[in-house]
Amino acid sequence: MSSKTEPKNPDADVQLVIDLMDGFRASKAVFTAVSLGVFDRLHQGPATCAELAREFDCRPEALERLLGACAGLRVLQVEEGRYHNLPAATRFLRVASPETLSGYILYSERVLYRMWSHLGDAVREGKHRWEQEFGKKENLFDHFFATDIEKRTFLAGMHGMGLLSSPATVAAFDLGSFDRFIDLGGGTGHLVIEACKRYPSLRGAVFDLPSVAAVSADYVRQAGLQNRIEILQGDFFRDELPPADLYGVGRILHDWADEKVATLLEKIHQRLPAGGALLICERLLNEERDGPATAYLQSLNMLVVTEGRERSANEYEALTRAAGFRSFRFHRTGQPVDVMLAEK
């Protein structure tokens, strides 16, 4: 008699492990295709491997393997020897797409892929691998923003990621009673833009470093909200926060250790009026510490790249209550980030 614990399909276990083994290969294939500009080129029209090889100065037999991998991964299709983009590539892998994730992909290619090669050392030592990989202790974002093009490319990728989640995060709780929403470290402003779209009486601002301000202004203008959303320059750790009855931090707190998070939360709490609130957008770990896998992979990413980590709802509640907030609610969005609301 077979054991009740015996898997119904043992081959599924084998395939699971094989898929995990192949995961980095699939990522690297897509990273390389984005870096070459394959998807932007094919948006102009279908092309053969030979045509693309001439344009990209690649060996045709080698490029055919990359294109075949992308076709197998369902971002390209080949018909009568000519390759063209499938919808996922058109929407997310072209630099020029308004939904592009290419900036985040290029950041993954040039920074994360290299730093993740030291994951074992990060786990053993419990700290990021910036100096180990790049040989110096420089500010992480100084590296991303070395040129204006690199800065805009990176922020465009973060904007694309934000577009996946921000509509759901601003809809999770009724924010209609608030007057002014300040998006701290808001980058392109996707969070406050979506909030202002949903709540017509809400006014807002993006508060970020001076190096980001021009990019923020461009995205706000493109959204047609320049009359309702200001661009304010500053460092939320060092400078006084502009007045608001609602602050937002999207993908910010996970960058920092608990001590710095506590400092920022206390600063926000002190600045808020009675009845004010803080909207926190981050991936939430299960309280059972068994997932979700995407949240734990992101937490490993924070280990490798920053001093921060992902947290559970209970951990965020403890941090906000220690800072003085009287209530805390959370909502799992089903999108790349979840959302929490802490009220004063």
Residue 225: which residues within 8 A CB-CB, separation 6 or more?
193, 196, 197
Reply yes or no on whether 43 is catalytic.
no
**CA-CA-CA-CA torsion sign (212, 214, 219, 220):** positive
Residue 279 pairs with which residues in a beta bridge?
248, 341
- Asked whether 13 and 7 are in contact (CB, 8 A), the reply is yes
- Asked whether 156 and 102 are in contact (CB, 8 A), the reply is yes
- Type of residue at 323: A
CA of residue 17 relative to chain centroid, distance: 27
Distance CA 130, CA 43 (A): 36
User: What is residue 190's three-state secondary structure?
Assistant: helix
Q: Which of 159, 190, 254, 269 is catalytic?
A: 254
Tell me how crowded residue 165 is: count the other CB atoms within 10 A of its CB: 23
Distance CA 333, CA 189 (A): 19
Distances 330 to 34, 40, 74, 337 between C-alpha atoms, Å: 36, 39, 35, 11
Nearest CA to 244 out of 199, 179, 188 is that of 179
User: What is residue 82's three-state secondary structure?
Assistant: strand
Which two three-digit tokens encode residue 86?
Answer: 């499938």
Spell out the alpha helix ranges (H) of the chain. Answer: 10-36, 38-43, 49-56, 60-72, 87-92, 102-107, 113-116, 119-125, 130-134, 140-144, 148-171, 190-198, 210-222, 258-271, 293-305, 313-322
Q: Which residues are catalytic?
A: 254
